[in-house]
């Protein structure tokens, strides 16, 4: 067989086969090239960074690619602040900030862009770009930094406005535009730089109307109690370098003072009284909600009737929410009642006076269609049913061993025969009443508590006989019978906290593991030692302490008027997963630390994350090994099979 003329064809075919096999065995680069992940690069500025004697109308930044100006207007912070917002535009690859007013003479200006400068392709951000220049011969370089958090839960405040006032009068924050400003980042951190020497007050505001002033009672505020005097120190590091003759190289760093400032946001409690809501939800019930407490100042009377003892009044613990029950049935039948409410308000000189407010309380009964035809085969109605009210209860199918049964009436109670409230064991065929503790709730109206020393894993029944109770309108209660079972004792766990360096009255709280941090239990203590929570269901918990400085049993915010900081709080820096039949003990030094940063670690979640990352890395390594084996071993076998 002659191959001379066919060799070129065989070579071409072989090369084609190699190309086909290679394309099958190797993963190629996707069409379109690699994804752009590089942020814009700043090539030039006009004026130069830290320029002196600047007299221009705008500043320009030239980048290596096109940028999007959309977010710059919202994020850019210029300090000292300007009265008018600058014009922001782009020309080719240059960003232009055009000032709408004359800049102050002999002042160092700082422009903080945060992460707002992004490229036009993939929106890669140029992180934390700051630029500064001086309109005079001196460049100011002092700085103040710190963190702003919510005082009650230590969550960082993002985009909070931080102010520095050289006017040290207490009213300056209300009336005077600040000398320097900054905005906090997502971690609540801020830095004000290019500050001139001097003395300052430092504030943080939730500046909702963007006027850079504190609107008392409408915005949160944080203030630093001391006057801040920024300064800087250069710390030398000296190294001897031998090069023919000894010489001394001076290096070092600049340390700025004061140390980081920690500010706690709170809403100041400013007295401003008004009725927030008033309604008559039934013929017997009127509700009033006030902006402030009306304790010892509230009075009410009818304007169109001369009657006495016509109502019962209920109110919440703060006495800013009042429910009025109209007990006079003749009055209750009237659709409209004029009432005069009296309560304290403040005049223009902030002095209290009794204000008389007239309200028209209206209610119309729903219209009942008495002419509605009965359906075919429907029986005639019998005698009218005697009205009765039903109890609402906290009882579910399971009772905690330290639980209390709560029953609540929908209307005020006139008479209650507690002997008709019976608790008995389900296994007791005689239904012998157990010796319960029955009492009226001290905080909730129309509510009664039933407590008992529950046995673990035991079934009970609660029974309240019909007509055991009568309300003020002469309506009796319906019968209630409900069974339930207690949990086994080893279902629960417990906490023991051993506190040291207790500075005074304190509160420790078990919180629900949620953003709202609902308080599940709390205890008070005022000295070193152990505090125990027992019979705690197995869940994950956050643990919080409150430095109850005034000893009133609750957390209190601050007052800028009285120069009182909000009460400190702190957290255990870990999320505790309590197990059944287990005691978690923690030793806790509660020395007050205003610089405490809330960082609660979920150890279980961290461990799961670590294992998931390990598994991912293992699979990637296996896949890489398989691909390598396929590319080398598989490809060579195919080549050998081709006969070359």
pLDDT score recorded for residue 373: 55
Q: Are residues 592 and 513 in the same domain?
A: yes
CA distance 211 to 476: 60
Question: What DSSP line would sit under 12-34, residue for residue?
Answer: HHHHHHHHHHHHHHSPPPPTT-S
Q: Is residue 395 part of a domain?
A: no
- Weakest-pLDDT range from 31-45, 263-277, 578-592: 31-45
pLDDT score recorded for residue 101: 95
CA distance 598 to 154: 6
H or E segment to which residue 616 belongs = helix 603-629
**Between residues 295 and 95, which one has the greater pLDDT?**
95
Task: Using the 3D structure, point to which of 346, 362, 378 is the last residue of a domain.
Answer: 362
Mean pLDDT of 573-597: 96
**Between residues 251 and 343, which one has the greater pLDDT?**
343
Digit-coded pLDDT (tens) for 257-288:
999 999 999 999 888 889 999 999 999 999 99
The CATH number that applies at residue 592 is: 2.60.40.10
Q: Are residues 120 and 154 in the same domain?
A: no
pLDDT score recorded for residue 633: 56
Q: Is residue 625 part of a domain?
A: no
For residues 505, 510, 512, 516, the Cα torsion angle rounded to the nearest 10 degrees is: 0
Judge whether residue 294 has pLDDT over 90.
yes
Q: Is residue 113 part of a domain?
A: yes
Q: Are residues 90 and 154 in the same domain?
A: no
CA geometry: angle 394, 400, 401, nearest 5 deg:
130
Q: Is residue 618 part of a domain?
A: no
Q: Is residue 210 part of a domain?
A: yes
Structural domain count of the chain: 5
Q: Are residues 462 and 496 in the same domain?
A: no
Q: Are residues 331 and 352 in the same domain?
A: yes
Q: Are residues 513 and 555 in the same domain?
A: yes
Mean pLDDT of 519-545: 97
207-233 burial, b at 16+ Cβ within 10 Å, e below that, comes to beeeebbbeeeebbbbbbeeebebeee
Q: Are residues 308 and 290 in the same domain?
A: yes
pLDDT score recorded for residue 270: 84
Q: Is residue 322 part of a domain?
A: yes
Residue carrying structure tokens 């709560």: 406
Judge whether residue 8 has pLDDT over 70.
no
Q: 516: which 2 tokens? A: 């709202």
Q: Are residues 109 and 157 in the same domain?
A: no
Task: Using the 3D structure, point to which of 134, 167, 202 is the last residue of a domain.
Answer: 134
DSSP category for residue 490? G
CA distance 180 to 109: 9
CA distance 618 to 624: 10
pLDDT score recorded for residue 4: 46
CA distance 129 to 115: 7
Q: Are residues 471 and 560 in the same domain?
A: no
The CATH number that applies at residue 480 is: 2.60.40.3710
Judge whether residue 643 has pLDDT over 50.
no
Q: Among 323, 319, 322, 313, which residue's Cα sits nearest to residue 293?
A: 319
Q: Is residue 11 part of a domain?
A: no
The CATH number that applies at residue 213 is: 2.60.40
pTM confidence score? 0.82
Task: Using the 3D structure, point to which of 134, 160, 178 is the last residue of a domain.
Answer: 134
Number of H helices and E strands in the chain, helices first, is 6, 47
Confidence grade of residue 367 (pLDDT, cut at 50, 70, 90): confident
Side-chain-side CA neighbours of residue 601 (13 Å): 6
Question: What DSSP line would sit under 542-611, residue for residue?
Answer: EEEEEE-TT-SSS----BTTTTBPPPPEEE-SEEEEPPTT-EEEEEEE----TT-----EEHHHHHHHHH
pLDDT score recorded for residue 365: 83
The CATH number that applies at residue 115 is: 2.60.40.1220
Q: Are residues 198 and 127 in the same domain?
A: no
H or E segment to which residue 612 belongs = helix 603-629
Q: Which domain holds residue 174?
A: 142-233
Confidence grade of residue 3 (pLDDT, cut at 50, 70, 90): very low
Judge whether residue 548 has pLDDT over 70.
yes
Q: Among 430, 418, 432, which residue's Cα sits nearest to residue 464?
A: 418
Digit-coded pLDDT (tens) for 134-178:
999 999 999 999 999 999 999 999 999 999 999 999 999 999 999
Q: Is residue 246 part of a domain?
A: no
Judge whether residue 588 has pLDDT over 90.
yes
Q: Are residues 501 and 561 in the same domain?
A: yes
Q: Are residues 476 and 502 in the same domain?
A: no
């Amino acid at each position: 067989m002659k191959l001379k003329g066919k060799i070129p064809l065989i070579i071409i075919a072989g090369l084609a086969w190699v190309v086909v096999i290679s394309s099958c065995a190797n993963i190629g680069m996707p069409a379109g090239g690699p994804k752009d992940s590089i942020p814009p690069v700043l090539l030039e500025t006009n004026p130069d960074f830290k320029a002196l004697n600047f007299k221009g109308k705008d500043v320009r930044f030239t980048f290596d690619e096109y940028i999007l100006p959309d977010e710059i207007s919202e994020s850019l912070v210029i300090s000292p602040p300007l009265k008018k917002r600058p014009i922001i535009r782009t020309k080719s690859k240059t960003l232009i900030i055009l000032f709408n007013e004359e800049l102050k003479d002999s002042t160092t200006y700082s422009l903080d862009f945060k992460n707002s400068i992004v490229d036009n392709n993939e929106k890669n951000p140029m992180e934390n770009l700051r630029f500064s220049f001086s309109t005079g011969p001196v460049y100011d370089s002092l700085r103040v930094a710190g963190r702003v958090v919510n005082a009650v839960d230590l969550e960082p405040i993002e985009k909070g406005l931080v102010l520095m006032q050289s006017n040290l009068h207490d009213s300056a924050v209300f009336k005077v535009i600040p000398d320097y400003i900054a905005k906090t980042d997502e971690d609540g951190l801020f830095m004000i730089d290019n500050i001139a020497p001097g003395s300052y007050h430092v504030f943080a505001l939730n500046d909702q109307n963007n006027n850079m002033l504190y609107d008392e009672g409408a915005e949160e505020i944080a203030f630093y109690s001391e006057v801040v005097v920024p300064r800087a120190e250069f710390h030398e590091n000296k190294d001897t370098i031998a090069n023919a003759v000894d010489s001394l190289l001076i290096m070092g760093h600049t340390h700025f003072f004061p140390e980081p400032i920690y500010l706690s946001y709170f809403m100041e409690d400013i007295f401003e009284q008004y009725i927030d809501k008033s309604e008559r939800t039934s013929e017997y019930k009127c509700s009033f909600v006030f902006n402030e407490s009306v304790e010892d100042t509230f009075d009410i009377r009818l304007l169109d009737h001369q009657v006495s003892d016509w109502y019962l009044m209920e109110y919440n613990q703060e006495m800013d929410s009042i429910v009025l029950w109209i007990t006079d049935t003749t009055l209750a039948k009237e659709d409209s009642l004029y009432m005069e409410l009296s309560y304290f308000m403040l005049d223009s000189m902030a002095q209290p006076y009794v204000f008389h407010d007239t309200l028209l309380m209206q209610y119309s009964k729903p219209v009942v269609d008495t002419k509605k035809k009965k359906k075919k085969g429907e029986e005639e109605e019998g005698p009218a049913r005697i009205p009765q009210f039903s109890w609402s209860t906290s009882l579910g199918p399971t009772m905690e061993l330290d639980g209390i049964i709560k029953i609540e009436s929908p209307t005020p109670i006139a008479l209650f025969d507690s002997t008709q409230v019976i608790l008995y064991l389900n296994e007791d065929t005689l239904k012998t009443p157990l010796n319960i503790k029955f009492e009226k709730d001290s905080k909730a109206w129309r509510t009664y508590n039933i407590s008992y020393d529950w046995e673990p894993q035991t079934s009970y029944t609660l029974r309240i006989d019909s007509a055991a109770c009568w309300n003020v309108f002469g309506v009796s209660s319906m019968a209630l019978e409900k069974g339930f079972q207690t949990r086994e004792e080893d279902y629960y766990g417990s906490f023991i906290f051993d506190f040291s360096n207790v500075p005074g009255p304190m509160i420790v709280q078990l919180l629900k593991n949620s953003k709202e941090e609902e308080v599940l239990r709390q205890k008070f203590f005022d000295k070193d030692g152990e505090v125990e929570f027992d019979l705690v269901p197995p869940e994950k918990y956050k643990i919080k302490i409150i430095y109850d400085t005034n000893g009133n049993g609750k957390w209190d915010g601050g007052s800028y008027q009285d120069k009182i900081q909000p009460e400190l709080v702190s957290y255990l820096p870990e999320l505790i997963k309590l197990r059944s039949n287990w005691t978690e003990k923690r030793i806790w030094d509660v020395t007050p630390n205003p610089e405490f940063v809330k960082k609660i670690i979920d150890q279980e979640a961290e461990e799961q994350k670590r294992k998931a990352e390990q598994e991912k890395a293992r699979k990637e390594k296996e896949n890489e090994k398989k691909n390598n084996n396929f590319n080398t071993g598989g490809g060579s076998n195919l080549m050998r099979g081709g006969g070359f």
